[in-house]
Structure 1
Amino acid sequence: MQRLWLKITASYLILSIVFVLILWFFISSIIKNTYTDMTEDHLLENAQIISEVIELGGLDKNPEKLSQWMSEINDDIDIRYTVINEDGEVLTDSEADVSTMDNHLNRPEVTAVLVNNQEMGTSTRLSDTKEDSMMYVAIPVISDDELIGAVRTSISIASIDRAIGAIWNTLGAILVIILLISIISAALLSYNITKPINDVINVTKRLKRQDYSARINKDHSGEIGDLNESINMLAASLQTHVNDIEENEKQLNSILSNLVSGVVLINDSGQVELTNQATERFLSKHSSKILNHNYQEVFGPLNIDNLIEHSIEENAKNHDEAHIYFPDERILDVHIAPYYSQGWMSRGAIIVLHDITEIRKLEKMRSDFVANVSHELKTPITSVKGFAETLLSGDVNDKETNEQFLRIIYDESERLNRLITDLLNLSKIEKQAMPLKITEVNVIEVINDTTKTISKLASDKNIAIHLPEDKEAVIIEADLDRFSQIILNLMANAVTYTSENGHVYVDVESRTTEVYISIRDTGMGIPSESLERLFERFYRVDKARSRNSGGTGLGLAIVKHLVESHDGEITVTSKEGEGSTFTVRLPKIKEITE
């Protein structure tokens, strides 16, 4: 902006100098010509006066009196007077001795009057007498209508130059003052022009640095004021748009960050431009290893390169499932679609990844559940049907055999009843259709009562049950019936799956806000690959022996849901050949939720 100020000032200075010079030469020329004409007129007027005096006073007939009069005039004025007769001889001269002067008939101004009979003769030349440049004016002297001579007036050019020089000096001083005033005015004008422009530039630079609060706070009138107002309106509009963009970007980032689905944006050159945390979690890669990397490098483990390439090149949507086996096995539902810029120009592809691992597991569990229910129901129904058909056929006449068949039918019916009851209870628990009746429950007392219930089963196998040592009562808030069902199922399982002469250990640990109940047996143990599925419906580690034991395969699933309904947690640790330990964690105070 300093350069603009200097350019305006320099341009104005140059124009001012050119204008002043032109004005100088024009005015000086006019002054010189005007002063020369005035001097010539002055000489003419003086010559006419001398001519009239000579004519009226008859001085042409008295040369001595004429010379005396001329000398008196010369004392008062700076003009040189010369009187010449009709033959060119000098009669008198105000500044020179006539005896030393030659004939003047050949002088241009005298020749014009005496020879050419002109009314006036003028000449500017070097004086032969004074050896100085002089301006001459000559007019005829007429007496009785007869030319009797000429009067010539002259003045030194030096005096004219001095007068003109004085005028030029005054004019020069005036023009210099005008020039200085013009320069100062130009500087002030350029400053007043460039200062608001400089303010505009400063604001635009701040806007360029993303300081959208920049404004011009100075009031100006005219176009500068309109420009400032426009810049402020532009800055305010830009700030609004940027705030909207930032807000939208925050919303987009918040949405992308909280999406459980992975989102990836790939440009038309195959580079990843955008991703989210879900994608990082699915691919087990940090964003630095995804962003600005080629999609083939990023999605190589998914084997969806061809689908992405097809979407980018053919502008087509694609859908497939992909499997990841490291670090965890995952099943991803992959949707690929092209995305476009303005004008429907292809810009790349959008990939959306849905983790459907749990869905597939649930589908498998549902399928297994249907198969297991069908299998569990088929066996007792087949038994009931077979023995009933045998009895109805009348082929069995032996009373003991009839009673045996009827006992089998009864037992299988009871088994069906238990299975259906457990299924209904499990369904109610999952749907929270069985509200808990929360009361204060003594954990030690419930364990002791449950031990009495299964004591016969334990004594038949000679299994020793080790209860917690006598201690103070451990009180928790729970549903007594449901809590008793939890302890009964776990202790019954421990006795059932423990070999003869084995041991079952029950321990209770009371902490500040929680109670830990552990039931450990010395049975066969559970394989490690079965631990994760142990609480699934109908899942059996040893299917044949479990079914023979009369179990429905739903006990642990029911226990798990009952524990969770009490805001607790159940875990299991086991080692084959050494036994298993089930640990239940329950809060002492149950939070009531409506």
Structure 2
Amino acid sequence: MNKRIFKTTLLVGLVALILSSIFSFFLYYKTYKVSSEEDLTSLISLIDSTINFEEDKIKYLENISKFDKNTRITYIDSKNNIIFDSYGDVPGIKGHINSEEFEDSIKTGIYNPNKYRKNAFEDIYYNAFKLNDGSILRVSKETESIFKLFLKVLPANILIGLVVLLISKRFSKATTTEILRFIEADIETPRIDTDKIPEISPIMYEIKSQRDVIERQLEEIKIEQDTIKIIIENMEEGFLMISRNKTILLINKAALDFLNVKKNVINKNILYLTRDEEIVNSIEVALKGTSSEGVIDSASREIKYYSNPVYLKNEIAGSILFFIDETEQIRSQKIREEFSANVSHELKTPLTSIYGFSELLKNKMITSEKDKEEIIGNIYSESKRLLDLTEDIMKISKLEGRSEVSKTIINLRVLSEEIISVFKSSASNKNIRLSVKGEGTIVANETMMWEMLANLVENAIKYNVQDGEVTIELKQSKNIEISVLDTGIGIPVEKQKRIFERFYRVDESRNKKSGGTGLGLSIVKHIVKSHGGEIVINSKEKVGTEIKIFLPIDTKIYN
């Protein structure tokens, strides 16, 4: 703006200077010309009116010529002889007195000066007329030419031009500063003062209008960005955006957690985030326009990823990756597969035995009564085992599918003593001492609580040693704490995490001998979970096992 105002002001100033200079110069030159002609005419008139009264005309003319060095006086007698020339240049004047202009001047006898150019810098005005005695008087006056006058005023014009330049520069700076100050001050205020600089008021209105539009758009963009950022940051799924040159543009917390990365990787190459060959290859493929998916193992978790290209104006601009933690789904699938296999195996084994023994009896291949009784006993045992297995499976199915159950106030001390009395007979076979300590009251499903404690006590007796102990301890504070302790064989540390899985047996051979379906602790886990509780196991081989359950006093039944 400053340069533009400066150029405009300077141009206007220079044009005004040139036009005024030309006008004043020609006006001055015209005045100068008229003044020179009038001076010459006045001198001629003076000489003409006085020379006839002078006795010594030559002397008279010499005296007059002394007053003005630029005036030349030539006196010619009636025979055209040059008697006097104030410049003393007789040969030079002869060319003038023989010219047509000289003859015309003598003939007219009018004081009307003629002019001729002496050189580029001087003009000469002259006139000639006859005196009364027939002699001729020629008077000329040297004046400055128009070119010389121009050169004389040129320095002044240059000086004035410099002044105009300085004034324009200062004026433009002052004007620009004032306008900008006004604009800056006015943009910050809601009101436009048109009295200050009314010429820019339309611009100011337009600026304010555009500013309001831009502010609204920026606010909308900011809201959209914040919304997208909040959504991405709070996604359970991992999100990763990669540019075409494999630079990380955006990554959320979930993706960093899935890939077990703590450092800042924004604007860095993908190799700063992960060197997993499968992930890097999926990005390479996506940048070539092909989507892909797969599963990687990261920090003992199963992470599924989806890689897709990102297009901008029909060109691939980068790629995005989604990460989903499918550890539970994959593990659940494995458990379901194992459960199906185990159920098939556990059901098939007794059924096969029953079928085989029955076939022997049907075909009358057993003749000994003793053998028959043994086979019938085996059929009974396998049938009971099959029935127990079916009941346990149905219990687990009910627990998994049950949404609501009836709840009552349960005195856990009384319930525990009842369970102890039920298992006294089986415990006496190993001379195991059963006891209950502490008190506790809970609001829960009584059948489930009975099933939970009965399974724990039954296992504690089954895997105990001769002359061992089984103790139920009850503690009540903010929650109910139920502990079942035994002095049995214990569980190896590496197998403790799996004992609540369906059909899992710590020692397959021992479990076959001791009976059981392998579903007891799985039932306990489901009951605890459905009541919003937690279960913890502490066990040491050849020392014993403690299973501790924490339940809220007023339990809710969870799906």
Do they fold alike, i.e. is TM over 0.5? yes
Question: Equivalent residues in 2 for 1:9-158 (5 A)?
Answer: 9-36=9-36, 80=46, 82-83=48-49, 90-92=51-53, 101=60, 116-122=106-112
Superposed displacement of residue 591, structure 1: 4.7
SS of match in other structure, 2:49: strand
2:363 to 365, 373, 393: 393
Equivalent pair of 1:422/1:554 in contact (CA under 8 Å): yes
Task: Give the aligned partner of residue 353 of structure 1.
Answer: 323
SS of match in other structure, 2:236: coil
Partner AA of 2:412 in structure 1: V
Equivalent pair of 2:399/2:526 in contact (CA under 8 Å): yes
1:529 to 491, 494, 500: 494
Task: Give the aligned partner of residue 519 of structure 1.
Answer: 484
Superposed displacement of residue 151, structure 1: 13
CA offset digits 1:404-440 (Å, max 9, x no partner): 544443443333222222222211211224x222222
CA offset digits 1:84-123 (Å, max 9, x no partner): 6xxxxx2348xx9989636965799999799923141356
Task: Give the aligned partner of residue 456 of structure 1.
Answer: 425
SS of match in other structure, 1:358: helix
For residues 461 and 112 of structure 2, the distance between their equivalents in structure 1, rounded to whole angstroms, comes to 157
Equivalent pair of 1:113/1:119 in contact (CA under 8 Å): no
For residues 367 and 484 of structure 2, the distance between their equivalents in structure 1, rounded to whole angstroms, comes to 50
Equivalent pair of 1:381/1:412 in contact (CA under 8 Å): yes
SS of match in other structure, 2:510: helix
Task: Give the aligned partner of residue 508 of structure 1.
Answer: 474
TM superposition score normalised by structure 1:
0.71
Equivalent pair of 1:262/1:353 in contact (CA under 8 Å): yes
Task: Give the aligned partner of residue 332 of structure 1.
Answer: 303
For residues 472 and 412 of structure 2, the distance between their equivalents in structure 1, rounded to whole angstroms, comes to 11
Tell me whether 107-116 or 220-229 shows the greater mean CA deviation.
Answer: 107-116
Superposed displacement of residue 365, structure 1: 0.8
Partner AA of 1:505 in structure 2: T
Task: Say whether 1:562 aligns with 2:527.
Answer: yes
TM superposition score normalised by structure 2:
0.74
Question: Equivalent residues in 2 for 1:379-458 (5 A)?
Answer: 379-396=349-366, 402=372, 404-433=374-403, 435-458=404-427
Superposed displacement of residue 7, structure 1: 4.9
Equivalent pair of 1:8/1:190 in contact (CA under 8 Å): no
CA offset digits 1:277-321 (Å, max 9, x no partner): 222122211242x44444345432445544443443x43333343
For residues 189 and 320 of structure 2, the distance between their equivalents in structure 1, rounded to whole angstroms, comes to 38
Unaligned runs of 5+ in 2: 62-73, 77-81, 86-92, 116-123, 144-158
Superposed displacement of residue 585, structure 1: 0.5
Equivalent pair of 2:420/2:435 in contact (CA under 8 Å): no
Assess, with a 3 A threshold, how the Cα gap between structure 1 residues 38 and 547 changes in structure 2: closer, same or farther: farther
Equivalent pair of 2:10/2:165 in contact (CA under 8 Å): no
Superposed displacement of residue 468, structure 1: 0.8
For residues 386 and 142 of structure 2, the distance between their equivalents in structure 1, rounded to whole angstroms, comes to 151
Superposed displacement of residue 553, structure 1: 1.6
Partner AA of 1:118 in structure 2: T
Partner AA of 1:352 in structure 2: F
CA offset digits 1:457-497 (Å, max 9, x no partner): 2222111223215xxx5322212221222222112211111
Task: Give the aligned partner of residue 321 of structure 1.
Answer: 295
CA offset digits 1:525-566 (Å, max 9, x no partner): 112222222211111112232243332222212111111221
Equivalent pair of 2:529/2:558 in contact (CA under 8 Å): no
Equivalent pair of 1:83/1:150 in contact (CA under 8 Å): no
Partner AA of 1:481 in structure 2: T
Task: Give the aligned partner of residue 67 of structure 1.
Answer: none
Task: Give the aligned partner of residue 256 of structure 1.
Answer: 232
Partner AA of 1:509 in structure 2: K
For residues 449 and 456 of structure 1, the distance between their equivalents in structure 2, rounded to whole angstroms, comes to 13
Assess, with a 3 A threshold, how the Cα gap between structure 1 residues 497 and 12 changes in structure 2: closer, same or farther: same
Task: Say whether 1:367 aligns with 2:337.
Answer: yes
Superposed displacement of residue 514, structure 1: 0.9
For residues 403 and 114 of structure 1, the distance between their equivalents in structure 2, rounded to whole angstroms, comes to 179
Assess, with a 3 A threshold, how the Cα gap between structure 1 residues 561 and 457 changes in structure 2: closer, same or farther: same
Task: Say whether 1:341 aligns with 2:306.
Answer: no
CA offset digits 1:40-89 (Å, max 9, x no partner): 78x59x96xxxxxxxxxxxxxxxxxxxxxxxxxxxxxxxx57526xxxxx
For residues 409 and 443 of structure 2, the distance between their equivalents in structure 1, rounded to whole angstroms, comes to 5
For residues 534 and 302 of structure 1, the distance between their equivalents in structure 2, rounded to whole angstroms, comes to 36
Equivalent pair of 2:487/2:545 in contact (CA under 8 Å): yes
Equivalent pair of 2:471/2:485 in contact (CA under 8 Å): yes
SS of match in other structure, 1:29: helix
Unaligned runs of 5+ in 1: 48-79, 85-89, 126-133, 142-146, 159-175, 207-212
Superposed displacement of residue 214, structure 1: 10
CA offset digits 1:107-159 (Å, max 9, x no partner): 9999979992314135699xxxxxxxx99988889xxxxx789999x9x999x
Assess, with a 3 A threshold, how the Cα gap between structure 1 residues 10 and 396 changes in structure 2: closer, same or farther: same
CA offset digits 1:151-183 (Å, max 9, x no partner): 99x9x999xxxxxxxxxxxxxxxxx99x99999
For residues 247 and 389 of structure 2, the distance between their equivalents in structure 1, rounded to whole angstroms, comes to 57
Partner AA of 1:23 in structure 2: F
For residues 34 and 227 of structure 1, the distance between their equivalents in structure 2, rounded to whole angstroms, comes to 55
For residues 97 and 591 of structure 1, the distance between their equivalents in structure 2, rounded to whole angstroms, comes to 154
Assess, with a 3 A threshold, how the Cα gap between structure 1 residues 548 and 150 changes in structure 2: closer, same or farther: farther
For residues 338 and 199 of structure 1, the distance between their equivalents in structure 2, rounded to whole angstroms, comes to 51
Assess, with a 3 A threshold, how the Cα gap between structure 1 residues 279 and 199 changes in structure 2: closer, same or farther: farther
Equivalent pair of 2:464/2:486 in contact (CA under 8 Å): yes
Partner AA of 1:249 in structure 2: Q
CA RMSD of aligned residues (A): 4.8
1:499 to 446, 458, 465: 465
Assess, with a 3 A threshold, how the Cα gap between structure 1 residues 396 and 310 changes in structure 2: closer, same or farther: closer
For this pair of structures, how many residues does the alignment match? 510
Percent sequence identity is: 27
2:456 to 490, 493, 505: 490
CA offset digits 1:332-379 (Å, max 9, x no partner): 33433333332x333343333333333321221111101110111112
